[in-house]
Each structure stands twice: as C-alpha cells, then as structure tokens.
Amino acid sequence: MVGTGGPVATFSVWDYVVFFGVIVGAAGIGLFQAIRSRKETSSEEFLLGGRQMTAIPVAMSLTASFMSGITVIGTPAEAYKFGIAFWLFGISYTIMSAVSAEIFVPLFYRLGITSAYEYLGMRFSRPVRIIGTSMYIVQTVTTHFLTGLHLWGVLVATGVVCIIYCTLGGLKAVIWTDVLQMVIMLAGFVAVIARGAVLQGGLGQIWEDARIGGRLEAFDFDPDPLKRHTFWSIVIGGSIMWVSIYSINQSQVQRYISCKTMGHAKMSLYVNMVGLWATVSLAMFSGLTMYSIYKNCDPLSNGDVNTSDQLLPYLVMDILEDYPGIPGLFVAAAYSGTLSTVSSSINALVAVTVEDFIFPNFKQLTTKQVTWMNMGLSVFFGGVCIGMAGVASLMGSVLQAALSIFGMISGPLLGLYLLGMLFRTANSKGAIAGLITGLAVTLWVGIGAQLYPPTADKTNPLPLSTTNCTNRLNFTTVVPPTSPVTLTTPDDVRPALADSWYSLSYLYFALLATLVTMASGLLVSIFTGGLKQDKQSSDLFVRKSDLFCFNFCTKSKESDVPEKVAQDINLGKTNSAYVDFEESTKNVAQSTKL
C-alpha cells in the first residue's frame, strides 16, 4: 500500500501505550519540578523560575515552544508542496537570534521586567502598556485556533495534564517538560526519515527524486514582493517576523529573562538558533521523504486526506504500520508540539495578566493570595487554549495562517518597541497613533489576502500526480504539471487590489507593519511636541555598550530614572543577573585602568 493510496492502518495497542507513556513522562517531569519548588511560593518563582535558570534548558524550551503542532505537521507539508525554499529560514533564525540577544536582552535585563509590556508603560504610558498587553492576549488566543490536531479526546486529556503541571510548577515545570518534548519531536522526524530511506533505497534516492520533482530550487532572487517565497521575502521579511516573535513575545521573553545571568540569557538564544536549524532541516527532509514516496500518488489529490496538514500523519501510518509503537511516537511528537505551545502560552498569559492588569490595581495582595491567583489563572487560560486548539481540528492548512497572524499583530508591536528604543523624541500620542496605523494597514492587507488568496503564479505550487494510485474505487487520476490547484475559480470576481496589494507575500506583513508604525508614530510625536529629554532615562534606550563588541570596554551607567518611577516599576536591581552584569562591567573597567 505504500505510495499507492487508499486506507491505512490505525493505531495499535502499543501505539497507544507509547503515546500515553510519553505524555505521562512529560507530566512527571513537570510535577517533579512542582514538588521540588513547593516551598517557593513567590510570584517571581512561579512566573520566572526564581531567575535562576541556565542557558541549555532555556534554549531547548525556546525551541520546543517554536516547534508547535504547526511546525511538526505543517512544515513537512510545505516542502512536499512547494519545495525547500522554507529552508532559507535558517538565515532568518540567525539574524533573529543576534538581534534578540544583543539588543533586546540587555534592555530587558537592565530594567528587571517580568512582563515584556512593562517596558511600554515605562517608556510611554500605562494606556500604551495596556494596549500592547491586550494585543498579545488576542494574538495568543487566536493562534491557538491554529495549533490543534484531531482526536478531541486525546487533545483534552493532554491538555488537562498540561494545565496540572503548569498550575503547580510554574515556569520551571514548563521549561524542563519542554526539554523532553523537544527530544520526542526530533525523534519523530528521524523515525520518518530513517524508514523512508529504507523504503526508497537511501537518502540519496530521496534527494534525487526531490531534484527531478523540482523541490530543490530554493534560491529565487526575484525581487517581486508579491511572490510567496523568494530569497528576499524569507531573509528580509522572515527575519523581521521572527524578531517580532522572539524579541517581544511574552512566551519567549519570559524564558530568557528567567536565566540567572545575562550571559546565560544570550547564550540560550544562540543555542536555540542551532536547535531551530536542526528542526527546520529535519522537517524539510521529512517533507522530501514524503514526496519521494508519494511522487506518483498524491494522497491529497487522490482524496485519501482532506487537507495538506494530514499528509504527514497519513505517511506515518502508511510506512510505519509494521513497527508497533513508532506511529505512537510520532503522534506523541506532534501532540508534544501542541502541549509545549499551550504550556508556554498559559504561563505567559498568567504573567502579563498579573503584572499588567492585577498588580498595578491591587497593590496590597498577600503572598498566599498571589499564589492562588496564579494557579487560578493557569487553569482558566489552560481551558481557553485547549478549547481553541480543539476547534482548530475543523480547519485546513495552518502553517501560513499562523505565521500571517504573527506578522499582522507582532509587526505593529515590534514597530512600537523600536520607536521607543531608538527615538528619544517619540511620545505616548505618537506611540498610540503609530500602533493603530500599523495595525490597520496590516489587517487590511492580511484580511484581504485571506478573502482573495494570491493566484498560483504568485504562490508557485509544484506539480503532483496520482498516476500510480490504486484506491478503493479502482481508477486513476492525473494532475497535469501545468495545472496546479488554486484557491479561487475563474468565475470569481476579484477586486482591483486582489492581484497587487492583497497578493503581498505574507512574510512582508511584519516588515510593513513595523515600518508604518515607526514612521507614523515618529511623525505624530514630532507634530505633538515630542518628549522632554529630562523625563527619560537612558536605561530605556539601546546603548552601544549593550552590544557584544562594546560591552567589554564600556562601563554601564547607573540608572537615572526618577525615584518615583523607579519605585513604581521595579528596575530589577535585585535581579542576580543585573548584579552580575554590573559587577562584571565594573571589574573590566578597573582592570582596563590598571
């Protein structure tokens, strides 16, 4: 049946054993961390692991959070349908890691924040902070529509486990559980590639089949911004998109600011970069393996699956049915991706809710009240996220949709942060005006692209065939190489903007929003009188000393934030990472003088 279409085997008893074994193992690690930290009940311990985490587990957690069910399922389907251009995101991950580590990490550490959106209140005003937090919550809840998989019962069961260890163990439980989940996810990819290589006669044959099928043409230097994937859209647009995800997204920021030193925080991002390279490489090769097996019998065109996101699970059951337990391992890998994303989101949503909405309005809460509040919010947000992920089982392709939402919402937020970090004249009025303008523009193009999808000459789907299929109805169907499937019909009435503005590559959404937000925000700030310089601390802006090439020869200045502001917004002088950084720079400065 391999490569010829038709029904495939279902789960065996051993598959269920392996699947639930992996889930129980992940929960066990989380609960162990919860029991281990049971005497530490402070909010900082729950939300940031006491700021005592080290680089390697944080890096693996950052990668596991990225490897949602979207990545495990959607990325191989991307290679199967469009080729390996997505592999170029490895360049984007490198740029993102450097920008996040050398610009945003020093800023957030210097300020000792818990919620990434505290910065917006410190730099602009409380209304700007509330707007930024609200946008993050909307984005997080919305994207959980896109992270779910089928099998409602399993999804709910794993979700309940996730809620339990998140509620009891906080960030430490989430991070250490992510470590196991990452190993399981990578193992799932390796199992698919190894079995495919045996069936096809080696990795070389898989590569050759991909070459003949046009799947290896990654470098398209066409500057046309309307083409879905080119070198420029992935490297430029993709870099900005991933910077907006890793640099200011609470679920990512919360991890690296939990590190015990700034050095560990930066290192976690660079190690995470290597993890992302490995992840995208294995996912891409899994997609090429799938193409090699189904090059003459596309399950999607043949009607064996309903959406492209069912292709990889179909392949697993098709080629691994003779190895009881291995299909269970793969499904566990896919659900581990969802589990990691959900647990990350729960902890991050609790953090922003507590820090941005509750603490500023209720300053007299006791430690016990805060503990119960954190746990209650974990249960609430866990239920919301699991519900959203379950509804997603009714949806189709999710990879591009998820990245589009990130670009549409994270792009304006990134523009807002850069406006505050780079331009001293930017004020609160300019910030709000810029954010609204950037969000309006990117929602306009993003929603337009969903209503009037780009045509095939912009998305460039590669040909697929059903020539050798032997399905239940005993007939074959051929998909001509020159007639790829499109999302519209010739009779559709498309507005004038459909083939221009609405066809803009989804990878440029974040870049567009960032530039529009910064430009409009700066103009409004200038026209409204700017901002008095003596009201802003130098700690709120990017410094040359923050960068790797300067921080060993430039002495860090003491904070000059006004005393009242410093009391209202804890600048983190008690943060061990901050203290270590200050002491290290002082020691270097003294040795330089000697």
4 in a structural domain: no
Which pLDDT does position 301 carry in this prediction? 85
Residue 522 pLDDT greater than 90, yes or no? yes
Domain count, the chain: 1
Lowest mean pLDDT among 99-108, 511-520, 573-582: 573-582
Q: Of 79-93, 301-315, 574-588, which gets the smallest average pLDDT?
A: 574-588
Is the pLDDT higher at 428 or at 71? 428
Q: Is the pLDDT of residue 557 over 50?
A: no
In this prediction, residues 399-428 reach a mean pLDDT of: 84
Please report where in the chains the tokens 């580590």 appear, as a residue: 101
For the residues 222-235, what does the mean pLDDT come to? 91
Question: Does 462 map to a domain?
Answer: yes
Report pTM: 0.79
- Measured distance CA(14)–CA(326) in Å, rounded: 9
d(CA 202, CA 283): 17
Instruction: Look at residue 181 and tell me if it is in a domain.
Output: yes
Whole-number pLDDT of residue 233: 93
Q: Do 252 and 62 touch, CB atoms closer than 8 A?
A: yes
The pLDDT-based confidence of 8 (bands split at 50, 70, 90) is low
Quote the strand ranges of 250-291, DSSP E: none
Structure confidence at residue 592 (pLDDT)? 39
| pLDDT at res. 257 | 83
Q: What is the pLDDT of residues 112-136, one digit of tens each?
A: 888 888 999 999 988 999 998 888 8
Confidence of residue 49 (pLDDT cuts 50, 70, 90): low
133 within some domain: yes
Q: Please report which confidence band the pLDDT of residue 1 belongs to, taking 50, 70 and 90 as the band edges.
A: low
Q: In the predicted model, is pLDDT for residue 175 greater than 60? A: yes
pLDDT at 491 over 50: no
| Structural domain contains residue 413 | yes
* pLDDT attached to residue 413: 93
pLDDT recorded at residue 273:
93
Q: How far apart are CA 562 and CA 565, in angstroms?
A: 5
In a domain, residue 82? The reply is yes
pLDDT at 90: 92
Name beta bridge partners: 53.
259
- What pLDDT shows up at residue 282? 92
pLDDT of residue 369: 79
Contact 381, 163 (CB under 8 A): no
* Cβ–Cβ < 8 Å for 121, 301: no
pLDDT at position 588, please? Answer: 39
Task: Residue 216: give the domain boundaries.
Answer: 13-593
- Tokens found for residue 125: 């005003």
Q: Evaluate whether residue 498 is within a structural domain.
A: yes
298 three-class SS: coil
Does 1 fall in a domain? no
Separation of alpha carbons 132 and 394, rounded Å: 30
- Angle (nearest 5°) at CA 580 between 577 and 583: 150
User: Confidence band (pLDDT; 50, 70, 90) for 481?
Assistant: very low
Q: What is the CATH number of the domain that holds 209?
A: 1.20.1730.10
